[in-house]
Structure 1
Amino acid sequence: ADHAAVTSMGAPTVDDLPEMAQLKRAMGDFDLNAPRIRLSSDNAGLELTLPQPITARPANGGELRVEAHRKPLFASGEGASGGGALSLISTRGGGLPEARFEGVEWRLTRGGFAARLKGRAGLDFGPARDIAFSTQGELASSGGRLTYTADDCIPLTVGKLDLGENSVEAISGRVCPGGEPLITAQGGAWRARARLADVAATAPFLEMRFSEAQGSLAVDGAAKGLSMRAAISKAQVSDVADPARFLPLQAKGEAQLAEEVWTAGFDLSRLGHDVGRIDLRHDGRLQAGGAAISAPNLIFTEHGLQPDDLSPLVADYVKSPVEGSAGFEGRFDWTAEGATSSGVLTVPDLDFTSPAGKVQGLKGRVEFTSLTPLITAPDQKLTADRVQTVTPLTDFQLTFGLDEKALTIGGGQIQAAGGRIRVEPLSLPLTPGQGWGGVIVVEGVQLNELLKSANLHDKAELDAVVSGRLPFTYDPKAGWRIVGGVLNGVRPGRLSIQPEVFDDLAAGGGGEAGVSPNTMQDLAYQAMQDLAISDLTAEVNSLDEGRLGVRFRINGRHDPPEREQLRLTFMELIRRDFMNKKLNLPSDTPIDLTLDTTWNANQIVSDLLEYARRGETPVLTTDEQP
């Protein structure tokens, strides 16, 4: 064994990456062991055979072994010099990669050599861990210049770009040859030039994945260190959070490395519409950096970009078309210990269709204290000028907060039917399958306005202003239920129900034998046609099969437009034949009424919301009416 050295890569410098410095040390001092070499010469030329492998063991570790497959290993004559087939096998250590290149065909050339390579290798290089690739091409040396030209694209995988808690993982893609050698080394410096295709990577700390990237790559290594430039002509940015925050975006831009500082800037688009930009910076020495996301002017038009083109989170709440604008500014910051994120969503003015109807003039500013997962600061507020639902709702206000477990509604209120409807604070779990509940508070709502909005005013008029509480629950399997809801009248009112609504109603009691039930039924109809209400209570509860039961308890008096009296002669009383004619219920007759009604609540809500979304007047079917 003899000591040997290859100095074409130069001596290690303080700016070298650790693996590059180790490789230079390995090539600068290694033991070369060639147990048997046979050299023969005759009139035809010179032959070199290798009965046993040659090994090179760098002082800092690893091993390189050369094995001959055919004899001779080298032959020359009649002006030609060539080699047989051999294998290069490298064991990782001392900067050497784990590599196996078999069937290497080589030859001497003027000023150097050329070799056909086909094999695979694995190594670490700088922050890139577990690099693996396979390649086929030509390695050539001439005049102190070493080049490698690949025949085709090189499939490449990298287990991790190690940036501490902010590592990039599962990197893959193809490195393809361009118009010059893939790698060139000379005078202690080297460079790589290539095209990139189908590059993909995942950044867990951002909960993002990058895929389908294409572009060009230029890497330069010299005594002053490593530099890189990647021009990305197109790429896809996807969200891997659950639930997903945004739909896949297209990106193009540039990334650079200089003096161990990475910088990058990418313009983002979706379905051909410009969305915003992301700028990144990472200092490899400090293991710290950040990314700024800017989408300050998102314009939504009926035939252009829509919110559900950008995020699946809005699909259940915001229906197209949406008109207006919104903006988002956010950033991620990281150190070796971890990452933080924040952002602000601004909504200057939006008009859209919600599940409850058309929303006009939505405005607000939502501050996020985390983007992974999405968490807002407490007490965020959104307002709307008008919500066109079953009855017009105005001055909508919603206070809320979002964390990784639940959406907390701190308070929400709307003006409706002359009064106000608000929701007491509640928490909506984000875990699929969990139930929740809350309380709707009704304050001074005019029931007759609701009947008009539901197109029922030709069936009944109920001039009653009510307040109360409607506790509700929601279960993914059982749906919505109101349990123990109570509404109370807050002032005198009036009830007028048309007789045809009560075709199946029979007056209670039945009277004495021989009394026609139609007479008593007619008196009951009159009582409910012109009823002055002094006291009203409504008990509201969900029933089976999606129906809603409302039990009205009403105290009042009969109050027709013209004063009515009941006049009977003595003979009519004796004969009882007054029961065979229409009788007028006397004015001021006291009335104590219990009225049970049931509604097909599921169908009503479904139909009314569908009409509201369309901006049409609802028409309820027979089964939906009380």
Structure 2
Amino acid sequence: MAQEAAEALSTKPAGRKRRILRNALRLALALLVLALGYAWFDREQIADSFLSDYLAEQGVQASYQIDRIGTGQQVISNLVIGDPARPDLTVERVEVSIAPRWGIPAVTSVRLVNPRLYGSYRDGQLSFGALDPLVFTGSEEPFEFPDMTLAIEDGRALIETDYGRVGARLAGSGHLRGGFSGELAAVMPELALAGCQGQEATLYGTVSIDAERPRFQGPLRLADLACDNGLAVQQAGVALDLRIERSFEEFDGTANLSLASLAMADAQAAVHGTSRFSWDKGDLTAEYDLAADHVASAQAQLGELALEGRLRALDSFARVEMDGDLTGEDLRLGPELDQALAAAAESGEGTLAQPLLARLRGGLARELPGSRLAAGYTLRHEDGRTSLVVPDAFLRGRSGASLLALSRAQFAMGDGLPRFSGNFATGGTDLPQVSGRVERLGNGGLQMQLAMREYAAGTARLALPRLTVRQASDGALALDGNATASGPLPGGMVSNLQLPIDAQVASNGDLALWQGCRQLRFDRLAMASLTLGRQSLTLCPQRGQPILRYGAGGLRLAVGANALQLAGELADTPIRIASGPIGVAYPGVMAARDLAITLGPADSAQRFTVTDLRADLSADSIGGEFTGADVFLASVPLDVLDASGRWAYADSRFTVTDASLRLEDREATDRFQPVGAHEASLSLADNLITADAVLRHPSSDTPLSRVHIVHNLSSSTGHADLIVDGVTFGPHLQIAPPAADCLPGGGSARVEHNGLTCLALGVVSDVSGTVTGTGRIDWNAEAVTSSGSFTSQGLDLAAAFGPVHGAAGTIEFTDLLGMTTAPSQRITVEAINPGIEVYDGEMFFQLEGGELLRFQGAHWPFMGGTLTMLPVDLRFGAPEVRRYVMVIDGLEANQFVERMEMSNLAANGTFDGIIPIVFDEDGNGQLEGGALTSRPPGGNVAYVGELSYEDMGFFANYAFRTLRDLQFNRMEIQLNGPLTGELVTQVRFEGIRQGASAERNLISRAIGSIPIELRVNIRAPFYKLMTSIRALYDPASIRDPRDLGLLRDDGVRL
């Protein structure tokens, strides 16, 4: 509409009045734009040209409505500059007053009604859109306020920035070169600046101009601010009184600061203070008086902390210098630091750190409340370097004692490591006394020398007799000194431990500790029940390398010793620790060879040896392998030999896995052959050891027993559970190995055998069947006990007195380790054949010490009577005379004939007797005084079959028919002789007479009334005597024990 009006005016004849009006309108609009930009709008002298031509020349899109044109006033309404859809400036009404000045029309006043300004601040650039050509003209002329009066009614602005939206309101009036007064309010609901997030930032105050010097008076407030670096502000306010010089390059003012809460990381305080400041062309000078109340952090607390001094910043903060005084009151330990000291003392319980830290904490708790802090300082910053100079500083405790004193202290930060110089000293009741001096060397470096007097608490003592720290000009450090410590350690204590301190820290932070071989000395070291006397250990690095390094590549450790030789006592028992070469490389491996630990006197020592021990120190957890480990315990007659496997330490747990070992009996006469285990495991955590293994027969890999062990190191108590799930004996596994493995010189076959114990050789062999059972071993600091129970449902075996079939029962051990059973262990036997097979018997025995078998008797039903084996003591592996006595009670002759399947014979009568078998020390066996006697009234024996041989002649046939059926009053059989030679059997009949089936004749009737005694001598091998008749047609009915390996061919028992 404004453009149409301009076109309409241009078609009419030109006139002077119309030209004056057009020029006035152009001038008024130009002055309006300049007035809205305050100091910017009037940078260019207002041209007398027409406003529309001026806006067109500047490329400013605008629309407006001319309400009135006069010689002294022009009124424009609905002014819009910029895109009408998103204007940059709108003004509801503009009134411009013009009066001649020096004969030239000039704007004397501007009145703006409801102006609305829109702008942005992005990437450091301020923009008002279409107004930019009018505001940012590029003129280098000094800024000057226009000579006019400005009135703004309800002016508002909205600026979009990278940090948030700013809304402002301005209302006021007055001459711009002096007399203007108004109210300014600004609000920023959300603030985002350099990693910080703020809420509700507001500015409110009065704006005035006096002698072309703007002034603002009012508060700047911020509800809260939170930054990523931990800075947090709540309820912040600054009361400003700011005056700006007419050139806008200088200003001065005052600020009253109030922060309800200022927090950084875990520190928090309420801050207040005042400041006077001035800015002059890039230079800032300020005086400050600040105070922080109730300063609290996790490490320390202060009742009050105050800073007072001056600040000078030159060349836009390129150089900064601040000096002043710092004072504080009532310094205390923060809860976290106090708890850390308490936790450190608690975690150090049982060490020398615990009493020392407890004394330190107590001393600080008594001295710090009511303490006073004072220091003077000068802080400078230039070219990226910062220095702090403290001429003197002190912290005095409640008692007035100096807790910390600094003098001539300097601290510098820049390239390389921070540098410090000055004197310091600590002290106070119950606090360590440390004194030191830091001084600059001629080469630009620093040197600090300090010493700490012996600090003691109870039996704990720590001293630093000498420590020198040198800092080169590039920041590199070198430490040289020693430390002396005495006091308790976990489970023990140390006396006069002397530890060298030798370290280098490069300017980039790389650490090197202990160049060359170093000695560690102590007068006495006690750990638990282990006590070592005065010792000296020499530890050496790799050639040309320090023992410990730390840098960009992480931690590196390389240390070794050619050998260890330590001696002392363990629970009043002598102990000796020796080793071959030991080396540790981290990350890498740890290796130790030929470790040997000996406990006790030489003649009864417990010995532990490890041929090779390795650890991988580059993994997340420590672990490795070991080989050649042997364990010899004097109190346990079993040796663990040639153990190997993997071990690891992680999460406070020590474990052994995939372990293989061999278990052997240490006795001169092995009670059992070696057994092995593989895939065994062990775990140690919280002083509790648990171990699991399966003992196996070496050659057949047959599982013999599962073993589960638990041991508590704290109480020295534990137990082992043995579980025999089922051991089956057969061709590949026997109780007794072959004789060759048990004879001298047979040791080379110790691993490749099929037996469990040589003690059973000559006692049992050819075992077939399965045994199950469990065992338990318990121990404590005083004693070891063990028990077990083992069962078989049926074993077949060959014994010295004959084959055994179906031996079944349960054996209860009262001392499993000692191989001792309870008395009267019972085993049932389906059949036994000492020459004549007997069935369904039972045996009783007791085993003592694994060496003595007390055979307490055996009973069998025997051909109508009983067969009893009398008690006998058998000592395994010892040369002795052994006497086995068989007692026969009530044997029925007819059952004997039937059992022997002698169908051609018929007999009756009852017999009693005894059969002693005696083996001498050399194992030669014979029958001594064996006898069988018939019970009264005697019996009968008759041949009821047909003759199976040819006719022997008249008289022989006549005699046989006469004697084929005999009755006797008494029959006695005596047996004597060697088992493998000819056994002499004497048979004597008394009161002989013909039986009912015998042929009677003249001779038999003639001698029938004559008492006859018949004696028969038989010479035959023992094992074929009792079966000689049956053996005529079944010679394999009974096996010979010599064929079973129980006896040699010469009769010697194996």
TM-score, length-scaled by structure 2: 0.42
Partner of 1:252, secondary structure, is: strand
1:187-226 alpha-carbon deviations (Å, 9 max, x no partner): xxxx7422222222134555332233232222358xxxx6
Distance 1:475 1:115 in 2: 68
Q: 2:551 aligns with which of 110, 115, 118?
A: 110
Distance 1:171 1:17 in 2: 31
Distance 1:15 1:360 in 2: 68
1:512-546 alpha-carbon deviations (Å, 9 max, x no partner): xxxxxx99999998987654322112344447995
Shift of 1:299: 3.6
Q: 2:525 aligns with which of 81, 94, 100?
A: 94
Shift of 1:428: 2.4
How many residues were matched structurally? 535
Match for 1:336: what amino acid? A
Shift of 1:279: 1.0
1:562: which partner in 2? Answer: 999
1:553/1:593 contact within 8 Å kept = yes
Are residues 483 and 374 of structure 1, via their aligned partners in 2, closer, same or farther at CA, if it must alter by over 3 Å? same
Are residues 351 and 566 of structure 1, via their aligned partners in 2, closer, same or farther at CA, if it must alter by over 3 Å? closer
2:830: which partner in 1? Answer: 385
Distance 2:898 2:1042 in 1: 18
Distance 2:706 2:961 in 1: 71
2:580: which partner in 1? Answer: 134
Pairing 1:137-152 to 2, within 5 Å after superposition? 137=583, 147=586, 149-150=588-589, 152=591
Q: 1:611 aligns with which of 1024, 1039, 1044?
A: 1039
Given the alignment of the two structures, is residue 536 of structure 1 paired with residue 971 of structure 2, yes or no?
A: yes
Match for 1:564: what amino acid? N
1:15-73 alpha-carbon deviations (Å, 9 max, x no partner): 88989999x999x96666789x9x9x9xxxx99999xxx876543425558799xxxx9
Shift of 1:370: 0.6
Distance 1:248 1:12 in 2: 50
1:591: which partner in 2? Answer: 1012
Distance 1:549 1:256 in 2: 67
Given the alignment of the two structures, is residue 260 of structure 1 paired with residue 699 of structure 2, yes or no?
A: no
Shift of 1:374: 1.0
Distance 2:344 2:562 in 1: 28
Match for 1:395: what amino acid? D
Match for 1:100: what amino acid? T
2:596: which partner in 1? Answer: 157
2:610: which partner in 1? Answer: 172
Q: 2:662 aligns with which of 217, 236, 257?
A: 236
Partner of 1:285, secondary structure, is: coil
Pairing 1:256-295 to 2, within 5 Å after superposition? 256-270=683-697, 271-295=700-724
Distance 1:76 1:588 in 2: 132
Q: 1:435 aligns with which of 853, 876, 881?
A: 881
Partner of 1:432, secondary structure, is: coil
Distance 2:713 2:576 in 1: 19
1:164: which partner in 2? Answer: none
1:474/1:481 contact within 8 Å kept = yes
Shift of 1:422: 0.8
In structure 1, runs of 5+ residues without a counterpart are: 1-9, 140-146, 162-166, 185-190, 497-517, 568-583, 617-626
1:386/1:393 contact within 8 Å kept = yes
Distance 1:55 1:475 in 2: 77
Pairing 1:184-263 to 2, within 5 Å after superposition? 192-219=622-649, 227-240=653-666, 243-245=670-672, 247-263=674-690
Are residues 239 and 104 of structure 1, via their aligned partners in 2, closer, same or farther at CA, if it must alter by over 3 Å? same
Given the alignment of the two structures, is residue 121 of structure 1 paired with residue 560 of structure 2, yes or no?
A: no
Shift of 1:367: 0.7
Q: Which has the higher contact order (CA 8 A, sep 6+)?
A: 1
Partner of 2:1002, secondary structure, is: coil
Distance 1:556 1:198 in 2: 79
Pairing 1:419-434 to 2, within 5 Å after superposition? 419-430=865-876, 432-434=878-880
Distance 1:608 1:92 in 2: 82
Shift of 1:334: 0.9
Distance 1:200 1:534 in 2: 73
Partner of 2:879, secondary structure, is: coil
1:399: which partner in 2? Answer: 844
Given the alignment of the two structures, is residue 373 of structure 1 paired with residue 818 of structure 2, yes or no?
A: yes
Distance 2:351 2:920 in 1: 59
Shift of 1:464: 5.9
Distance 2:639 2:676 in 1: 11
Are residues 231 and 13 of structure 1, via their aligned partners in 2, closer, same or farther at CA, if it must alter by over 3 Å? farther
Distance 1:16 1:480 in 2: 73
1:112-139 alpha-carbon deviations (Å, 9 max, x no partner): 7754534223568999964433345455
Are residues 58 and 591 of structure 1, via their aligned partners in 2, closer, same or farther at CA, if it must alter by over 3 Å? same
In structure 2, runs of 5+ residues without a counterpart are: 1-342, 358-454, 487-493, 527-531, 737-753, 944-952, 1027-1034, 1045-1054
1:335: which partner in 2? Answer: 780
Distance 1:260 1:125 in 2: 21
Match for 1:562: what amino acid? E
Distance 2:348 2:671 in 1: 42
1:158-182 alpha-carbon deviations (Å, 9 max, x no partner): 3359xxxxx974343421133627x
Partner of 2:524, secondary structure, is: coil
2:858: which partner in 1? Answer: 412
Match for 1:565: what amino acid? L
Partner of 2:992, secondary structure, is: strand
Distance 2:962 2:635 in 1: 71
Pairing 1:460-471 to 2, within 5 Å after superposition? 465-471=910-916
Match for 1:281: what amino acid? V
1:19/1:125 contact within 8 Å kept = no
1:555-606 alpha-carbon deviations (Å, 9 max, x no partner): 2335373222249xxxxxxxxxxxxxxxx9966764212334444548979x
2:710/2:720 contact within 8 Å kept = yes
1:193/1:217 contact within 8 Å kept = yes
Are residues 320 and 92 of structure 1, via their aligned partners in 2, closer, same or farther at CA, if it must alter by over 3 Å? farther
Distance 2:1020 2:664 in 1: 46
Distance 1:286 1:526 in 2: 89
Are residues 547 and 477 of structure 1, via their aligned partners in 2, closer, same or farther at CA, if it must alter by over 3 Å? farther
1:383-440 alpha-carbon deviations (Å, 9 max, x no partner): 1212355322111210111222632222202234554221223322346123243532
Are residues 544 and 195 of structure 1, via their aligned partners in 2, closer, same or farther at CA, if it must alter by over 3 Å? closer
Shift of 1:452: 9.4
Are residues 592 and 488 of structure 1, via their aligned partners in 2, closer, same or farther at CA, if it must alter by over 3 Å? same
1:98/1:121 contact within 8 Å kept = no
